[in-house]
Every structure is written in structure tokens, then in C-alpha cells.
Structure 1
Amino acid sequence: MVIDKAYYQMIFKRKSFRRFNDTLKLSRDEIYDIDEKVKELIVLVDTIDVKYRIVPREETTCKRGEYCLLIYSEEEENFLLNIGYMFEQLDLYLASKDIGVCWYGMGKTQVPEHDNLKFVIMMALGKGYPHEFRKDYTKCKRKETQEIWKGGSRLERVAEVVKYAPSACNTQPWRVICEKNQLKVYRTTKVKSIMPKDKVPFYNTIDMGIFLYFLDLALLYNHISFQRFLCEEEDKAELIPVAIYNLL
């Protein structure tokens, strides 16, 4: 697996944008660059077909940004994980270009299907105020590391970094248990959120895909090789298995 480690530095800069600079517009070259970058995103599951469209915000119900990137996918097993994993790469990349991004979960589009694929989620895009990007990532609100990560003292730096992954309504559904040379990644169903209860599993599964990308990035940045295996989907446990990492 080859991951652009430059994205690692953007973990400490990126943030979910609520305010965009409406006086500045994305140029045609910037839109082209975004379009080309999406084509390079690394997939989590290579058998799932994913498409996207970049449209003016006004073609959606989104209230933020200048454009929206609409994501469409086959609804196969782990398709939500795949979307989170793929498009968080774009989030980090655009932070390096001072372009603001917001995963906009409840937004709707006028085009609910594209190339026979169903709309899943959108990302609001626009020029950000430079001071709005993070200057001190430790000040953002996150759970204590020991609440989300158990065991594995040699992975303290990894554990401290990955908890800064974004999540819907900051629910932070990830839980990790480290046993010897293995990481077990779970999604907890015990979250408090302003989201409608029936929507929480949907968006938190996308969040877990985002988290897996952060975890991959942090492990490789720290020169820790691994084999990753996705778990079969299930929805009845308090801790739902998502992935197992064998550390090499």
C-alpha cells in the first residue's frame, strides 16, 4: 500500500468548515485539480463502483460553501466505509490548498441517482479563511485517548493522532483494542447525538471509513507495516467489529 504521507501533516491543519469566504471563488483550475485528485483516491474496497459530481451549491439543499461534491455508490457491503476512506483523502488534500471542506450529511440533491448509482453523501467545498484552519489541533474537542484506545503502549503516538479524525456531530464512534501485535477496530453503538437515531449507524459507518484512513496513515508514517482485514457487517452488538490489523 502506498499512501501520500504529506497528508499526515494535514491531520493537524484540517477542520470541518462552517464558515466560508464568500468573497473568493474557486477558479476553473482549482475545480479541475479537485476533479483530477478524486480520480487518484485510494479505495478501501476495489470491487465497489463509486462516482461523483461537482455542482454549484444551489443545486442542493446545502447552505455552505460554493460547490458541493456529490458522492454516489453501489450499495454493497462496506460501501459506507469505502466512501469515508476515499474522500477523507480529498479533505486532507484540500486543506493543503487552503480550500475548506465540510462533510454535509443531511444535504439533498436534485439528482438522487447518477450512472445507476445512488446518492450517498456530499461534501461542501469553498474558499476558507486562512485563520479558520487549525493552528493548535490539541484544542479541538475529542474524547480522552484512553476512552477510545485500550492497550498497545508502543502505539501511543498513533493513538493520540487518530482520535482527531472528523465524525458526524463529533460522535467519535471508534474504539480500538490493541492485543500484542493486533489491533481490533470497533464502532460503538452507544453514542449521544442530535442526529435522528435511525441515521446514526449510516453516518457513523462513513466516519469509521475516515478513521481507518487516519489509522493507515498514522501507522505508515510511524513506519509500522500491517495487514488489514475488514470484518463482516453486523448491527446488533454494542461494539461492532469493523477491521482487524495485524502489525508486522
Structure 2
Amino acid sequence: MNEAIKLRRSVRTYLKKPFNKKEEEMLKNLLTETEIMKGPFGNHARFFYYSTNKAFDDEAKRIGTYGFVKNAPAFFGGVIKNTFEAIIDFGYLFEHIILELTKHELGTVWLGGTFSRTAFESEVGENEVIPAISPVGYPEEKLSLMEKAIRLTIKADRRKPIEELFFINDFEHSILENHRYMKYLELVHLAPSASNKQPWRVIVQDNKLHFYLERTPNYAQLVPFVMQALDIGIAIYHFEAGLIEDKKNYMITNLFMPNIENKEYIISFILE
């Protein structure tokens, strides 16, 4: 999974190549398998799959992604209850799907605000929400002008320096690049986030790593859930994926650490 994390990029322009039955079966099986999984707070999500049936632009217009996404042969999305912890879990579970598809050399892009939720209202029950959808398909080699403009606008290739994200014991002391856990924190560093805000922060205390969310003021206020909860879920998934790949023993738990100024405590990893 580490390699998929490093290779993944947001894809908005696809080859006009519909999926065959075998490919569609793989996609649907992946969604079904992920429904069995739980996020770090114990929530499940439901996932759905839509084929554009070769009507690429018409379906994009219906979903509200026309102009942002081009030629996608299919879309998938998910539903979960609308609580802060459940949205974190959705970020964790949806990123699992994204990275599994990356391993199959398929392109995807997180869409949390640039789609019409009413297009999928039949999927949603009471007190539920669709936090994100994604197109899926074979990436076009060259970026379109729109895609280049979007990436430039959100500074997609820019990452905050690690000293602004990862710390030792408190938020006053930044981590050193040769720290023993830096290999796993670098996977967090590579995580996608809405508008590339990178709102995750991590404090390392001996064998404990505490994840915090530093919310961007007034961000995504028109979305009916906490958008940046998705980002911290993605970050948690990336960190855990690195531990699993190296066969590390660990526990994810709530240690009830205090919030610190504008940084909201989320959850902790304890490593053996």
C-alpha cells in the first residue's frame, strides 16, 4: 500500500474507455468488501457504483461534475451517518478504496464539494450524508487545461514543511527528519486533503502518536458536514497502512488528550 500512496494523484481527465464486465465486477466487489470494514471509531459505510454507459458528458452534467471531470466511465460514492466521528471513518474507508484502485492503475479524485448531492438522494437515509464521490477510469496521460488550472489553484503539488505538521512532546518542538517514525509520518505528509489544506497535526511522545485536527477557519461552511474530518481520516489510514506493511504491532485508541489552542485532539496510536 505504501507504493500506492506514493503513486496516487488526483485524476480528472480519463480515456474514453468503458469498463468491461470483469473490471466492473472487481470494482463492485471492492466496494462490498469495504462495507465490512470499520473505521477507527467503529463506523461502517455503504457504497454505491454508477456506470455512465458511455454517456460520459451527460452523466457528468447530471452529477454536477461537468467541467471538473471529463470522460469518466463510472463513479462511486458512499453514505454514512452524519456525525463528526463517522465522517472521519468515511475518510479512512474511502481512501482504502482509492488506494486499492490505484494499485489497479485506475485513476480517481476525491470530490467532496464539487458534485450534486441531490443526484444521489435515493441512496441517503435519515441522518445520513454522502461525504464524497469519485470518478474512476483509466487516466489520460496529459493533463487538460482545466486540470492544470485546478491543480495550480489548490497548489496540489505543494506540501507544508514537516516542522509545521509533526512534533515531539508538544507543539513547540518540531520533529527531526531522522526520527524513527518519520517513515510512517511521511505517508501522512503525502495524504490528499480538501483544497490541499493539510489540516492534520501529530505529536509524538515516546511510542505514542497523537493525531490532531487544525481546522481552517470558515472552510466549506456550505457543506452539510465537517469537510476536514475526511482529511484526518485519510491521514490516519495512511499512517496505519505503513505500520501494516512493516508488520508493526500497534493499537488505535482514544487517550482523551486535551485540545491545544486551535488543535482538536482526535485519536492516538500506541506502538510496541
TM-score, structure 2 length as denominator? 0.75
Aligned counterpart, 1:53? 48
Structure-2 separation of matches of 1:241 and 1:181? 17
Cα RMSD after superposing both structures: 2.8
* 1:177 partner amino acid: I
Percent identity over the alignment? 18
* Paired residues of 2:81 and 2:129 also in contact (CA < 8 A): yes
Q: What are the equivalent positions in structure 2 for 1:76-155 lying under 5 Å apart?
A: 76=83, 78-106=85-113, 107-109=115-117, 110-114=119-123, 116=125, 117-129=128-140, 140-151=157-168, 153-155=179-181
Match of 1:13 in 2: 7
**One-letter code aligned to 2:157:** C
Q: Which amino acid aligns with 2:38?
A: V
* Gapped regions of structure 1 (runs ≥ 5): 1-6, 133-138
- Asked whether the equivalents of residues 51 and 71 of structure 1 are also in contact (C-alpha less than 8 Å), the reply is yes
User: After superposition, where does 1:179-190 map in structure 2 within 5 Å?
Assistant: 179-189=205-215
Q: Please point out which of 227, 239, 244 is paired with 2:263.
A: 239
Report the CA distance between 1:16 and its aligned residue: 1.0
The aligned counterpart of 1:24 is 17
Q: 1:192 to 1:11 in 2, by over 3 A?
A: farther
Task: Give the letter aligned to residue 154 of structure 1.
Answer: R
Structure 2's unaligned 5+ residue stretches are 53-58, 144-155, 169-174
CA contact (8 A) 1:50 1:71 kept: yes
In structure 2, relative to structure 1, the CA distance for the partners of 1:114 and 1:198 (3 Å cut) is closer
| Separation (CA, whole Å) in 2 of partners of 1:29 and 1:40 | 16
In 2, Cα distance between the equivalents of 1:183 and 1:60? Answer: 39
Alignment CA distance shift 1:37-1:96 (3 Å): same
Greater share of residues in strand:
1
How far has the Cα of 1:124 moved from its partner?
A: 1.6
Contact (CA 8 Å) 1:49, 1:74: kept in 2 or not?
no
Query: 1:192/1:163 Cα in 2 relative to 1: closer, same or farther (>3 Å)?
Result: farther
Give the drift of 1:200: 10
1:215–1:200 distance in 2 versus 1, CA, 3 Å: farther
Count of equivalent residues: 232
* Structure 2 CA distance for aligned equivalents of residues 52 and 221 of structure 1: 26
| Partner in structure 1 of residue 55 of structure 2 | none
- Residues 84 and 225, structure 2, Cα contact 8 Å, conserved in 1: no
In structure 2, the residue matched to 1:37 is 30
Q: Deviation digits for residues 114-166 of structure 1, max 9, x if unmatched?
A: 2624333211212213577xxxxxx9321111211113621121222221011
Name 1:4's counterpart in structure 2: none
Measured after TM superposition, the shift of residue 192 of structure 1 is 7.5
